[in-house]
Each structure stands twice: as structure tokens, then as C-alpha cells.
Amino acid sequence: MKTLPAPGACLLPSQCIDSEHPDIVAFVEAITDPGLSDLENAVALYYRVRDDIRYNPYALGTHVEDYLASTTLHAGEGWCVTKALLLAAVCRAAGIPARVGFADVVNHLSTERLRAVMKTEVFYFHGYTSIYLNDSWVKATPAFNVELCEKFGLYPLEFDGLQDSLYHPFDVAGNKHMEYINDRGEHLDLPFDEMAAVFRLHYPTMFQQTSGRPGEVTDSADWEAEVNREVGLS
């Protein structure tokens, strides 16, 4: 069995989780309160990453540098992997151990164009953050901002720091929304080479279309317009 990174190791900066970056530190200092518990601060950080960093599945870089947490913070947008890395970074900057986990899922939050580009209903390497609180690891998934969930008729994913928060299996109408089909484990940082190999295999068109800079395939305004068309708002 693979040994998981221990809490102490998950406090330090790492390649993509650049928690020492001054902008990451400033973001954390503006949100957290040293008089509050780690749990309270982690919950506050979760909601800021979930809702202030817009979800954009096309912000898919092809270089490891595109996955730095500071890059996602500066862009103001990201997708499940980059937002999970950012949440891990802000937690570490707040003195809270955090690592990242990945799984393959069937996810019904998508658009006609995204389905055509992906050519599969499986989202490989769906990312989440595992946070060490009250002497145990708790999973949090900050991917989908609340406005996006509302448009798709989904419950926004809440996080209380006490229970795993991976995703509601059903939408507000009772239809199946997300199913985890393969656990890829938790890591100290993004296993970029492994992820890139999986993406080249399963998403050859999508992964090669990007020139390596997040947002160059389409920006968040394009994605949101696409969502509006999908749900009949335009």
C-alpha cells in the first residue's frame, strides 16, 4: 500500500502548491483570522476559492508551470485540478496541512461543446483537496462556483470541515449527477507527468489544442456564455 504524505510534509511549499508566494500569503491574510480555529479558517478559505475563482474547464494548460497555485489565483479562474491545488496552497499558507487527491468520475455538469471536445463522459483526474483538521483528513472539492451550480440545477457543494465533501450524487431534481469510478489517491503535489499521460490518451484533441497557457482555448466569459446556451438562458 502506498504511504500517504504525513501532515508535517503537507505544510511546506511544493512545486505547484507554491504556498510561499506573496500573493497567496496576502490572499490568506485577508481572509483568515488568527483568533479563529484551523477548521474555521479552512472553511472560510474553501468558500473563497470555490466562489471567487470561477470554474472554467477549458483553462487546461499543457505545462507544469500552468498548474502553480499562484497562476490560478492571478487568472481568477480554473478547473477542478487547479482549484484543488490553490485550496491546498492557501491552507498551507495558513499553517493547515493539505494535500491533493484525484479520481476518475462520471460528471453530468458539462455542455454540448465540452462533450464534443472530450469525446467521453468520464472526467479523468478530477481533483479535490484533503485538509488535516482535528487530527483527521477531510476532503473538500472547491471546483464549481455557486452561480454555475444554480444554472445547472445543482446543490452547491458545502464544506463544514468535519465531513468529506466530494459531491452530491444527485441534482436538485433527483437525477444522478456525479459518480466516482476510480480512486487515484492523494499526493503531496500534482503528479503532472502521470496526469498528462492520461490526458493525452483520453483527451488527445482537447489537451493538444491548448498552447500551454490557461485560458487560451476559451476564457471564462466564453465558457459562461456556453453554459447559458446549454441551460436555455441565451
Q: Is 4 inside any structural domain?
A: no
For residue 11, what is the DSSP state? G
Q: 223 or 58, which is more confident?
A: 58
Q: Is 5 inside any structural domain?
A: no
Q: Is 229 inside any structural domain?
A: no
Q: Is 226 inside any structural domain?
A: no
| pLDDT tens, residue by residue, 71-113 | 999 999 999 999 999 999 999 999 999 999 999 998 767 788 8
Q: Is 221 inside any structural domain?
A: no
CA-angle at 181, arms to 179 and 222, nearest 5°: 60
Report residue 121's pLDDT band, with 50, 70 and 90 as the boundaries.
Answer: confident
Q: Is 225 inside any structural domain?
A: no
Q: Which domain holds residue 118?
A: 11-213
Is residue 32 within 8 Å of residue 106, measured between CB atoms?
no
Q: Is 230 inside any structural domain?
A: no
Q: Is 20 inside any structural domain?
A: yes
Report residue 120's pLDDT band, with 50, 70 and 90 as the boundaries.
Answer: confident
| pLDDT tens, residue by residue, 31-68 | 999 999 999 999 999 999 999 999 998 888 889 999 99
pLDDT of residue 112: 83
CATH number at residue 130: 3.10.620.30
pLDDT of residue 19: 98
Please state the domain count of the chain: 1
CA–CA gap between residue 51 and residue 226 (Å, rounded): 19
Q: What is the pTM of this model?
A: 0.92
